[in-house]
Structure 1
Amino acid sequence: MKEIKVIVADDSALMRKLISDMLNSDENIEVIKTAYNGKDLINKIQVEKPDAITLDIEMPIMGGIETLKEMRRMNCLIPTIVISGVSHRNTTLTMDCLHYGAFDFIAKPSGGMASEIIDIKKQLIEKVKLAAYRNLNLYETKSVISKEEHKRIDNNVKIQAVVIGASTGGPKALYKVITKFPQNMGVPIFVVQHMPVGFTKAFAERLNDNSSIRVKEAEDNEIYENNVVYIAPGGYHMEIGSNGRISLNKEPPIWGVRPAVDKLFISASKVFGSHLVSAVLTGMGRDGANGTKIIKDNGGITLSESESTCVIYGMPKAAYETGKVDIVAPIDSIANEIIKITTDIRR
């Protein structure tokens, strides 16, 4: 008997079948129902009680955002994976869906290329499993630490930059961190969030609209400035050059992702050395662990999010296990820790 029960909601019969076939191909997942709009979905989840939902954004009668709002009103906390197109409207709506409680999202297939379908199928199955297993308390992290930790930090070094990495659960985590930064941080902040091509611009715009500090999607060869948060574009590694510029490239993925946190961390460490602060937030896998080690070995200050607030305690756990993390803190404290380090040390 398959352990994960899913309802697929999409106004396109073709997409309902495509998504259902992808999910049913996994030995642990069963699509028990489909829905043609949000209202139909709301009616069915009250009867069927699925472990996870896939949700199209634009549907007649009740779209994705309205559905998530209604689920929140009903206190119906079923983890939801949004299936989104890559138009500017859809990417903006996707960020709204994450704000209103969606667990994660994937980009809707844009064509019929076999490689694209295979990649999306892999992502879809992985994210539905992560969402459902977390909901069912089946995701085991075998944690090495569950409380805050602070090591003694050298407070005689002037911080010149901050680097942050995140993956699953990262958009919400980064929102909590970046919206707390003051307008005058005095340093540039570079961020890698694992996100598909076409979505990072809308993500940066949403952060910018709700933050005191300026937030933008990074551009190749642009000169970086203090008091700006630079978000790595989906599909590009972001590295920091010694010439004061940002470099974007399409070198092979690391850990299966591009942009990769390690690429950013390692390049920034070469430029800023001991004058750098890093933070690894929620996410699956170990991207950022090698970079954390290198930053600490070069004299920088390193943070990781504590297990208690992570959606997935994978990347922060891998970083912590290097033995090179100075501060472990819950997500609501990460911004204050970074602000304290950059202001106290920059006397």
Structure 2
Amino acid sequence: MVVEDSLVVRQLLVHIIARDPRLVVAAAVGSAEEALREIGRVQPDVISMDIRLPGMDGLEATRRIMSDHPTPIVVIAGSVEDESLKISMNALRAGALTVVEKPVGLTSAGFDGIAETICTQLYIMSQVPVVRQRSFAWRPNAQPAPVQKRDWERSPLRPSIMGIAASTGGPPALAKVLGAFPADFPIPILLVQHMGAPFMEGFASWLNGLMPLEVRVARDQEIPAPGKVYVAPGDRHLLLSPAGTLQISASPALASQRPSATLLFQSMAKTVGSRGLGVILTGMGEDGAQGILELRQAGGYTVAEDESTAVVYGMPAAAVRMGGVSASLPLDLIGPRLLRLTRGDGE
């Protein structure tokens, strides 16, 4: 189902989707109210959701859909201005799965790439199981799975830096984990979130407004400081250099990902070894799994989100399967555990 108030853009989205053999347009509507009326009849597998709509906006529509008719939602954002981005990020927090750039026109620069991204994201997200009233994108009534005991008996060295990675479902999960940390958090945090390049500044700004920590996009060669979160820039790798400074790299994508969580964790393994703390949250695919394995092999401590709370148990599952995880924890236990580790309070 396409939800878009502009007739021109709605027709353009229908045209884009119709070209993809993986997808069929079940309905195309011009308002959130119409979408809510039609969703029970149409029962779409995935929804393309505009944010700025007449009457009820896309954020409220997302909340209601996730409450009454849980359906995968892909936010189509037409602007990267602060207010539009804030609404888009809050829609992710309300249960939407990802945000992609809105196409401008058939002859606009980058149209084919944007069109391919939209179709691919709609197809992939149509496969994601979603649950009712998922305000932070985890199952509020789920019973946490038993936590792995492997490595819990040892006391890791007090970490000097943390790397954290997420993909699908990541923004609300990151808000939950990082929001558990006080402003005087004792180590720097390097963050990889898979998201379209135009949205990274707005994503960092949104996170910054939710928590005591300072969050901003990382800059090349800066020295990471305690209590600050450095977000990988759009379409660039974020690495920790041998000198301990941040390194922004335009080297080729690894397994189709730039930024790559695996490259971040590998750089931490080489630079800080046993003083590294690695965290891998919800996301599709296997990015980060090889890197977090190498970090653990270097003596670092590693945490993965447990299947009981992950929106998509892809990246954490791959890390566990490869043996790169010291402990798997439900989302609400990750922040407190990391805080204890960084303060030297043990496990």
Please give the TM-score of this superposition, normalised by the length of structure 2: 0.87
Gaps of 5+ in 2: 132-144
Deviation track 1:80-132 (CA, whole Å, cap 9, x = no partner) reads 11101242232222112112221222112356569934433443333323433
Q: 1:231 maps to what in 2?
A: 231
CA contact (8 A) 1:159 1:345 kept: no
The answer (yes or no) to whether the contact 2:164–2:280 under 8 Å persists in 1 is: yes
Do 2:12 and 2:105's aligned partners in 1 also have CA atoms closer than 8 Å? no
Is 1:55 the counterpart of 2:81? The answer is: no
Structure 2 residue 79 is the aligned partner of structure 1 residue 82: no
SS, match of residue 68 in structure 2: coil
Aligned to 1:36: 30
RMSD, matched Cα: 2.4
* SS in structure 1 of the partner of residue 198 of structure 2: coil
Indicate conservation of the 8 Å contact 1:85/1:91, yes or no. Answer: no
Aligned residues: 332
Q: What corresponds to 1:143 in structure 2?
A: none
SS, match of residue 264 in structure 2: helix
Whether contact under 8 Å (1:192, 1:260) holds in the other structure is: yes
- Correspondence 1:263-302 to 2 at 5 A: 263-302=263-302
Q: Which amino acid aligns with 2:71?
A: I
Q: For residue 190 of structure 1, what is the aligned residue in structure 2?
A: 190
Q: Which residue of 1 aligns with 2:11?
A: 17
Aligned amino acid, residue 165 of structure 1 = A
- In structure 2, how many angstroms separate the alpha carbons of the residues matched to 1:275 and 1:44? 54
For the residue of structure 1 that corresponds to 2:25, the secondary structure is strand
Q: 2:160–2:275: 8 Å Cα contact kept in structure 1?
A: yes
Displacement of 1:150: 2.8
Give the structure 2 partner of residue 3 of structure 1: none
Task: Classify the secondary structure of the residue corresponding to 1:29.
Answer: coil
2: CA distance, partners of 1:163 / 1:171 = 15
Q: CA–CA distance in 2 between the matches of 1:272 and 1:284? A: 27
Shift of 1:134: 2.7
Q: Which residue of 2 aligns with 1:245?
A: 245
Matches of 1:122 and 1:78, distance apart in 2: 21
Paired residue type of 1:39 = E
> Does the 8 A contact of 1:306 with 1:331 survive in 2?
yes
Cα distance in 2 for partners of 1:113, 1:313 equals 38
Which blocks of at least 5 consecutive residues in structure 1 are unaligned? 1-6, 138-145
- For 2:244 and 2:11, the matched residues in 1 are separated by 50
2:140 paired residue number: none
**What secondary structure sits across from 1:254 in the alignment?**
coil
Q: For residue 329 of structure 1, report the CA deviation from its aligned partner.
A: 1.0
Matches within 5 A, 1:100-179: 100-110=94-104, 112=106, 116-135=110-129, 147-153=146-152, 154-155=154-155, 157-179=157-179
Evaluate the alpha carbon distance shift between residue 181 and residue 136 of structure 1 in structure 2; reply closer, same or farther with a 3 A threshold. closer
Contact conserved, 2:156 with 2:301, CA < 8 A, in 1?
A: no
Deviating above 6 A after TM superposition, structure 1's stretches of 4 or more consecutive aligned residues are: none
Say if 1:84 and 1:108, in contact at 8 Å, map to a contact too. Answer: yes
Contact 1:159/1:187 (8 A) holds in 2? yes
- TM-superposed deviation, 1:136: 8.2
Query: Contact 1:51 / 1:135 at 8 angstroms: preserved in 2?
Result: no
In the alignment, is residue 332 of structure 1 matched against residue 335 of structure 2?
no
Worse-superposed segment, 107-116 or 56-65: 107-116
Distance 2:248 2:118 in 1: 27
Partner secondary structure for residue 199 of structure 1:
helix
